[in-house]
Structure 1
């Protein structure tokens, strides 16, 4: 191969690796922002629910739910999740995330 072709190949390889790195950074930034907004929403919610009797009564059910990876769902946890979702309909959190927030109270 000639020197010009080798230089051109090297330039193309370096450009393709930069494009991959840029898309990776963009993807991780997007995921990070989504996690931060969910965490902020859960922390705001947990501070407002510290004295809520329905939520506090569901702590044992929440512990079972988290420990079983969502297999065990008690009636008190079900009621608390419904209550939380009516109090904060804008919150986009999974049942597992909400159960962990209940445990953190």
Structure 2
């Protein structure tokens, strides 16, 4: 009888472990997909015909990111305005856009 109880307990723990693992996988897949969409949107913006504006904003973007958003240079502001004009549906923060400018 003890052996049956032990097997039942092991079975319950195994099933709960599988449920947790599949839940974790679903969560990470969802987060990964949303990050991929965000990166794709910002890379589309940063690789268009606005190379000159974005290149000139790289130093300001680096200062912005390094200061946690405290330092906002004129060239970065121009680049952010340009990006938002080109992609009005883009829902990225200034920090995300500055990081995308640096990543190009």
Coarse TM-score class (shorter-chain normalised)? 0.7 to 0.9
Q: Please, what is the CA RMSD of the aligned residues?
A: 1.9
Q: SS where residue 71 of structure 2 aligns? A: coil
Q: SS where residue 64 of structure 1 aligns? A: helix
- Counterparts in 2 of 1:13-28, with a 5 A limit? 13-28=13-28
Q: TM-score, normalised by structure 1?
A: 0.82
Range with greater deviation from structure 2 (9-18 or 88-97)? 88-97
2:51 corresponds in structure 1 to 50
Distance of 1:84 and 1:41 partners within structure 2? 11
Deviations 1:18-77 (A, max 9, x none): 1110011111111111111111111111111213x4x44433321210111212122332
Distance of 1:5 and 1:28 partners within structure 2? 35
Where structure 2 has 5 or more consecutive residues not aligned to the other structure, the ranges are none
1:67 corresponds in structure 2 to 66
1:76 corresponds in structure 2 to 75
Q: SS where residue 11 of structure 2 aligns? A: helix
2:6 corresponds in structure 1 to 6
Q: TM-score, normalised by structure 2?
A: 0.83
Distance of 2:28 and 2:101 partners within structure 1? 28
Q: SS where residue 93 of structure 1 aligns? A: coil
What is the total number of aligned residue pairs between the two structures? 103
